[in-house]
Structure 1
């Protein structure tokens, strides 16, 4: 059977999977749920994904070259046979990966031929990115020469406040363009241009690569995320940093393997800790030891210790965000409440979530790489943790972290 026909089967299988879940009447698929008839495999050396798929009567959806694996689609009930196949090292059920509330709640504004004048968002001020010599935030469009992959819902390619250079679609449809808004919002926090309009990011004008792994409803799968990570790994020569503001309680060894390969290739990952007010230890990719897992704090005026009034939620200023995951796997904190950034439709929007905190750290990683081109992901992580501000710091600190692991607040002022 030719590759094109296998692709048609893959699309039909995904559609049938979604129809099955709706027809079953229980609820739409939730993050971490198994997707019937969808599998992710890691193959042994020399094994062919095409041969394995054909041998089990399955279609080949995504091929992963950096880790010799694939995602397969077709009839349910094939997992045990795949696990017993001597050519297969690991076989797992594919699972839902998605955005969690409150990240999906956006309040768009500002668009059209006349864009709002540039302002510095509170999160940028809170971590002193405006004081960074590498960022050079002064209203002059001088771009940070680093590539950042946004593994998310895509990015609006022609947003006037973003420098988007290309992308990859691992989700449904044919385009990596953002039909949701989340990925475009994340992008602006990391790297919005330092020009005269809208907002400015932590690493202004860094090259943005849209890696679309979530659909227009903000939902994807382990397979689509591994596809995105695999693409980033294969393009590590031009992509120094990646942001993943997504997650699930999936327990996927293959996703872990893909991230490990990407970090080994030289890509530094900032990832959201999650928005479930739970220990992040069971959440992927936050629990991967080689990424920087980011929790969120509330800050409403860009200044620590001032007790500012809330602007869009009921959180208390300079406190750990009430929705943020926590625990020993969390490495660093960043502002993630009422964050103003770019949005689809050439607009701007205020959103909250660890999704909004993570790109502050991705931007800081880009600033460090701009001045330390030879730094490994481990070097970048160590540097950001060392320069971060202690929770007890009277100027930059915050209160309310519910655990005994006091991750610092990311600080970009010295980068």
Structure 2
């Protein structure tokens, strides 16, 4: 089970473009060196636990088991916070350590694990859309005439600014797991920025996304300060899985310390992995950030999971190959592996993730850097593929994206694993 989620380098850069850069560091990460495990601690969310039940033979028996377990927990003095019925069967609750131990010994319980703190990871044609060749995609059809890609993408993040004129936010399909029964409004900025990279409208103003006009499902799992918990993230995955017949792709621009605990049949100690496995089995494709610690992604989750598409970041400053772009919001060398990005055999694709301009709350736009920004390029690419291949499985989507990837970027540079990841290329999608 991961010990904590680290922000995906939101604090690397934020600038209003054009104009002077302006620092933002809501997660307390700006100025950290790349060798640090940024924001990592070993703390737990005191008195809160995630309870996973054993598999049941039928849907009805699973439902009954969950209801019985929740009633039993309440009778033992626990306060139930979330109930999981789709990605896995179980619940999250606040209880004493002794009660948690008693619950663990109860009938039908697979595991009881501490809840953990989590944090977020960080019209023109943006450089990333240009470099990924989404502007040449016949499905994206970017021409300023507001043609919309027929796909649904959930953004598990800080929420999305539902009133932003450059976004098609499906508010009715959203969920607030951080503060239930409240709107999924983005008081932070990270989720809105991610959403714009995926699907900002091709409407002649602002910016355009990789898959313009996709229906964006806001799934809020973080507070306006970028804090949250593993149980909230699982709540988001559970909501997505409940709507697996509607949602095609999920973007998770977040990362935390941990390792792949094995295939989906052996994930008893990692509730988040089990939830993602079950969601993928329902046909949902997950794009996730490699992380920003300039380290092997094998030590971070969900990046290390085999069932997802893991994305590292390219420093592309002009939207073109060749390494001729001048530095803008950062001093990275153009067309090279971003010096903050994680790497390794668990990484499937590299995508632009430096100085990316996208939507921001209150109808604005901002420039950010991080694998948080690289990942939604891939989520948008997955949406383009699903729009024309509606029956494609997550494995087929992943294979198509990797196969179409190109190698036209400078390497080796800061990528120290000896592996050159394919660069996201979407002209044939």
Q: TM-score normalized by structure 1?
A: 0.85
* Whole-angstrom distance in 2 between the partners of 1:413 and 1:32: 44
For 1:1-58, what per-residue CA distance to the aligned partner results, in whole angstroms no more than 9, with x for missing partners?
xxxxxxxxxxxxxxxxxxxxxxxxxxxx856631110101111235333134224421
Secondary structure of the 1:34 match is coil
Secondary structure of the 2:255 match is coil
Question: How much does 1:305 deviate?
Answer: 1.1
Name the CA shift for 1:374/1:168 in 2 (closer, same or farther; >3 Å).
same
Question: How much does 1:281 deviate?
Answer: 1.1
For 1:273-306, what per-residue CA distance to the aligned partner results, in whole angstroms no more than 9, with x for missing partners?
1111111112111111110010001011000113
Name the CA shift for 1:405/1:184 in 2 (closer, same or farther; >3 Å).
same
Picking from 343, 352, 367, the partner of 1:335 is 352
Q: 1:69 aligns to what?
A: 90
Q: Give the number of aligned pairs.
A: 367
**Aligned residues: CA RMSD:** 1.6
> Does structure 1 retain, via aligned residues, the 8 Å contact 2:411–2:420?
no
Q: TM-score normalized by structure 2?
A: 0.83
Picking from 47, 70, 78, the partner of 1:50 is 70
Secondary structure of the 2:301 match is coil
Name the CA shift for 1:290/1:300 in 2 (closer, same or farther; >3 Å).
same
> Does structure 2 retain, via aligned residues, the 8 Å contact 1:242–1:267?
yes
For 1:170-190, what per-residue CA distance to the aligned partner results, in whole angstroms no more than 9, with x for missing partners?
003622111100000000000
* Whole-angstrom distance in 2 between the partners of 1:320 and 1:306: 11
Q: 2:372 aligns to what?
A: 355
Question: How much does 1:250 deviate?
Answer: 4.8
Alignment of 1:74-153 (within 5 A): 74-76=95-97, 78-100=99-121, 103=122, 118-153=123-158
> Does structure 1 retain, via aligned residues, the 8 Å contact 2:70–2:91?
no
More divergent stretch after superposition (42-51 vs 158-167): 42-51
Q: 2:320 aligns to what?
A: 303
> Does structure 1 retain, via aligned residues, the 8 Å contact 2:297–2:303?
yes
Name the CA shift for 1:343/1:215 in 2 (closer, same or farther; >3 Å).
same
* Whole-angstrom distance in 1 between the partners of 2:131 and 2:204: 21
* Alignment of 1:220 onto 2:228: yes
* Whole-angstrom distance in 2 between the partners of 1:210 and 1:232: 10
* Whole-angstrom distance in 2 between the partners of 1:228 and 1:356: 20
Q: 1:37 aligns to what?
A: 47
Question: How much does 1:220 deviate?
Answer: 1.2
**Greater relative CO, 1 or 2 (CA 8 Å, sep 6+):** 2
Secondary structure of the 2:144 match is coil
Picking from 216, 233, 241, the partner of 1:233 is 241
Picking from 270, 280, 296, the partner of 2:297 is 280
Name the CA shift for 1:306/1:281 in 2 (closer, same or farther; >3 Å).
closer
* Whole-angstrom distance in 2 between the partners of 1:144 and 1:32: 42
Question: How much does 1:76 deviate?
Answer: 4.4
Gaps in structure 1 of 5+ consecutive residues: 1-28, 104-117
Q: 1:171 aligns to what?
A: 178
Q: 1:364 aligns to what?
A: 381
Alignment of 1:255-266 (within 5 A): 255-266=272-283
Name the CA shift for 1:72/1:250 in 2 (closer, same or farther; >3 Å).
farther
Q: Which consecutive segments of 4 or more residues in structure 1 shift more than 6 A? A: none
* Whole-angstrom distance in 2 between the partners of 1:353 and 1:77: 41
* Whole-angstrom distance in 2 between the partners of 1:338 and 1:234: 35
Name the CA shift for 1:255/1:209 in 2 (closer, same or farther; >3 Å).
same
> Does structure 2 retain, via aligned residues, the 8 Å contact 1:31–1:249?
no
Question: How much does 1:331 deviate?
Answer: 0.8
